[in-house]
Amino acid sequence: MNNLFLFLVLVSIVGFVVGLIKPSIFKMESRKKVSYIFGGSLILFFILFGITSPKSQNTNIPEKKDVSEIPQKVTSIFDVPSLIGKDINGVMNILGTPNKDNGEPTSLQIEMGINEWSKSYEKDGRELLITYNYKTKEIIDFFIPSTDSEYQNKDKEHMLLVGGLEDNNRNYSVEFVKSVKDNTRFTGIKITPNK
């Protein structure tokens, strides 16, 4: 049926153009009468063609999504639970040489009472900052800064996954460090070993 109306639309277009040029071919006295008949039939057949055409079933067009809504597949980058209970030397045996090593405190810093020191590791574009007691070598805490995406989306689950962490674990406590500018967002995750 659709093809019939398409054919009639094309015939109406041809008849309209020819009739306006030479109306006597269709045995009509004026161009006005030709335009009414062929113009009307053109509109009518065009509408009928549109009504009888099959509905588009194109399912190949993917729905566009906002990039921030697309879940990013992440695996554990730092296995922080395996570092719990170890001192800084034990952690360094597992993780290797720190990427950002501040060395050790100077004698002047020690005289001033500095007890805490830190070492930083980078892996797959993520950072793990480890704060420890310089004298006892005991780990004070671990810190994983949030990415821009995690900060914008308030993605706590993603942060836990990066550290291989659970929100409630008896061996350590997890604290999401709130942003000073917006306390509904966080700048990173702090992991403190439980004693």
User: Is residue 118 domain-resident?
Assistant: yes
- HSE at residue 59, side-chain half, CA atoms within 13 A, is 1
Q: How far is CA 164 from the centre of its chain?
A: 21
Predicted local confidence at residue 74, as pLDDT: 55
Residue 81 per-residue DSSP state: G
Residues 89, 22, single domain; the answer is: no
| DSSP-derived secondary structure for 83-101 | GTT-BHHHHHHHH-S-SEE
Distance, CA of 164 to CA of 158 (rounded, Å): 10
Same domain for 102 and 24?
Answer: no
Residues 80 and 150 in one domain: yes
Residue 90: pLDDT band with limits 50, 70, 90: very high
Within this chain, do residues 135 and 166 fall inside the same structural domain, yes or no?
A: yes
Confidence tier at 68 by pLDDT (50, 70, 90) = very low
Q: What is the Cα–Cα distance from 39 to 32, expressed in whole angstroms?
A: 10
Pick the more confident residue, 58 or 35: 35
**Residue 29, domain extent:** 2-52
131 pLDDT band (50/70/90 cuts)? Answer: very high
- pLDDT (0 to 100) of residue 144: 92
Establish if 59 belongs to a structural domain.
Answer: no
